Amino acid sequence: MTPVARAKPRAPGRQRVNDPEGLRERVLDAAAALFQRQGYTATGIQELLATAEVTSGAFYHHFDGKKALGLAVVRERVAAAIEETWLAPLRDAPTTLAGVTAVFRAIAGELDANRAVQGCPANNLVMELGYADAEFRRELAHVFDQWRSALAAKLTDDMARRVLKRRDPDALASYIIAAYSGAMALAKLEQRSAPLTAALTELTAALA
């Protein structure tokens, strides 16, 4: 997956006059990268301030605390990473199968080039915080709802054009996300892209 820090939506408030140096963006970028590498719980505020090169005062000017920052990372960085690496290529593709193939190949290629697999930023946070924290669960559920909706819309379109056998588009969309998420978990464990390739082979059969 594209490093989360790279995805920078022009979110409301980004260019506020009291943030001329993009401090808030720097903090979000640093937090997204640290959460992705080592997890939310393992990341301390001091480490974050040092990485982002901001003062404690500047940090608390923009965020009420670590949790507020974490929720902003989900809304403004994780959601943008899914949009950029998954949803935009999917929308541009002629069919779901073509889109899924392009996404899996691009991500597998990036993992091979990086020689390190940090996992999917959305799934990493789901696994770490999905049960323990209801606020994170709600924010993450919103990201996954948009992901599933985009896939289900594409699948419905395929079915209407008879390039795909009719079945429940929401269930199939959920399954595609599950297969991708699980393959990314295995890729993280094995530190190689092979699980994504194996998943693409079977998904191709399911979507043909």
Residues engaged in binding a second copy (CB under 8 A)? 37-39, 41-42, 116-119, 123-124, 126-128, 130-132, 137, 140-141, 144, 168, 171-172, 174-175, 177-183, 185-186, 188-191, 194-195, 197-199, 201-202, 205-206
CB of 36: closest distance to a second copy in angstroms?
8
Name which of 160 and 171 has its Cβ closer to a second copy. Answer: 171
CB of 27: closest distance to a second copy in angstroms?
21
Question: CA torsion, points 110, 114, 115, 120, in degrees to nearest 10?
Answer: -60
CB of 23: closest distance to a second copy in angstroms?
27
Name which of 55 and 191 has its Cβ closer to a second copy. Answer: 191
Q: Contact 96/151 with Cβ under 8 angstroms?
A: yes
Tokens (6 digits) for 116: 């390190």
Name which of 9 and 39 has its Cβ closer to a second copy. Answer: 39
CB of 93: closest distance to a second copy in angstroms?
20
CB of 68: closest distance to a second copy in angstroms?
18
Side-chain-side CA neighbours of 20 within 13 Å: the count stands at 0
Q: What CA–CA distance (Å, rounded) separates 29 from 170? A: 32
Q: Contact 87/147 with Cβ under 8 angstroms?
A: yes
Long-range contacts of 110-113 (CB under 8 A, 24+ apart): 110/1, 110/2, 111/187, 111/192, 111/193, 111/196, 112/192, 112/193
Name which of 63 and 104 has its Cβ closer to a second copy. Answer: 104
DSSP state of 9: -
Name which of 6 and 137 has its Cβ closer to a second copy. Answer: 137
